[in-house]
Amino acid sequence: MLIGAHVSTAGGLAKAVERAIERECDALQIFNQSPRQWKPTNYSDADFAAFREARDQTRIDGVLIHAVYLVNCASEDAELRAKSLTSLKHSLRVGDAIGADAVVLHAGSALQGDVGAAIARAGEVIKAALDETDRCPLHLENTAGTGGTLGRSFSELAALLEAGGGGNRLGVCLDSCHLLASGYDVRDAASVRATVDAFEEEVGLDRLGSLHVNDSQTALGSNRDRHAPLGEGEIGEAGCAAFLSEPAFDGLPTVFEGPGMSGKNVEAGDIRRMRELRDQGRAART
């Protein structure tokens, strides 16, 4: 498992690598631009080269980009879908340029109307984004289910993958907080295993490409996306240890988004805590 954190790109792309190393990470996740604005950051070839050079000199072996929060591939508004497509293509092109493992995407929301129609609309945008870019994979993130967000269930994720063309560049990022909030129990090893088995049956483990490990402030099935420091929320220490040590997750980029133990940004102590929990979970399995 490539354990890491979401880090800032303030000061340049290469600064993200520096911050990840300061936090003792093996993986990192960044936003390729401000996550709450449409305006893209116009990086140069020199910026991309600096990132790749910095990464090549470190232990970082997993890189994810998180797409802009404004993206809603499922919107009934054609103009918003067009903006979403443009933004998503930009994220994928930055991913190509820095050698990212994937762009992670919240596919969109069906605030009103038919969910099937919303999935079809999202699939059209996702397929177009992949068709119009080159190499970087796209991972659809499961959601907590707040406000009609798509991907709250494995069946919805499977439908989104199919609607998006189902090609080998299309995969899934599973978030532990979102799993619990949407009704999938991950509070102990047996529950994590049952959830993995359900994912394998409905989606396929070959589609799982990355992980977000976050604890949850809110209870099982709450449909609320509220992160907590690892081991201090409803998933708890045992659940986080089980998730981090699940054998099916070996080798995957695994990003903690926070908050950290300080209640704010993720620091080196939080990454060490992740490894301690992983080792604790492994010991409990033997």
**Residues marked as catalytic:** 36, 66, 69, 106, 141, 175, 178, 212, 225, 227, 257
- In terms of C-beta density within 10 A (0-12 exposed, 13-18 middle, 19 or more buried), how is residue 148 classed? middle
- Cα torsion angle, 277, 282, 285, 286, sign: negative
Contact 131, 164 (CB under 8 A): no
Contact indicator for 93, 129 with CB cutoff of 8 Å: no
Q: Residue 268 burial by CB count (10 A; 0-12/13-18/19+): exposed, middle or buried?
A: middle
d(CA 136, CA 132): 11
3-state SS, 192-213, equals HHHHHHHHHHHCCHHHEEEEEC
